[in-house]
Amino acid sequence: MAPVYDNDNVFAKILRGEIPCYKVYEDEIALAFLDIMPRIDGHTLVIPKFPARTLLDADADKLSELVKRVQKVARAVKDSLGAEGLTLLQSNESAGGQVIFHLHFHLLPRWEGIDLKPPASQMESPEVLEKFQTRIAMALK
């Protein structure tokens, strides 16, 4: 039996406004916000507003609309931060490295010679998050 979507996961709570986030983009399909424990400066998450546990159980038509938003936000992250590249990370189920069971995409701006931090290794300060939030959000206007 396939695992069931949990309406009480942290991203569902963010979508309902029960937990705050550093939002950079929102429309009827997606919400994008900064990871509060970033692996690199500007680490951004894009999540669907529809319930989906993983990429594998998401409705294909809704997923195609979501990916358009992922691309749009990825361009803004890369361009606004002057990144030399970008890593897109998407994990499915515990064995695949997924920790929060709501479909999400990690956008990781990259620069030569700067390694990613380990996942969930350090909470970033609000001041730093607000700085990146402003830069990325402005690029999406």
Say what the pLDDT of residue 100 is: 97
| Amino acid occupying residue 121 | S
Q: What is the pLDDT of residue 3?
A: 84
Provide the domain limits for residue 73. 10-139
Q: Number of folded domains in the chain?
A: 1
Which residues lie closer than 8 Å to 95 by C-beta, 6 or more apart? none
Specify the pLDDT at position 12.
98
CATH of the domain at 62: 3.30.428.10
E-assigned strand segments in 17-92: 23-26, 30-34, 44-48, 85-89
* pTM for this predicted structure: 0.97
Q: Is 43 among the catalytic positions? A: no
Please give the pLDDT value at position 48. 98
Catalytic residue among 43, 102, 104, 106: 104
pLDDT of residue 103: 98
* pLDDT score, position 117: 97
What per-residue confidence (pLDDT) applies to 127? Answer: 98
Residue 67, in any domain of the structure = yes
Residue among 63, 34, 62, 59 nearest 140 (CA): 34
> Two tokens at 110?
């990259």
CA trace torsion 73, 74, 76, 80 (10° rounding): 140
The answer to the question of residue 81 being in a domain is yes
Q: Mutual orientation of helices 126-139 and 60-81 as an angle, nearest 10°?
A: 110
pLDDT in tens, the chain (141 residues): 778 999 999 999 999 999 999 999 999 999 999 999 999 999 999 999 999 999 999 999 999 999 999 999 999 999 999 999 999 999 999 999 999 999 999 999 999 999 999 998 999 999 999 999 999 999 999
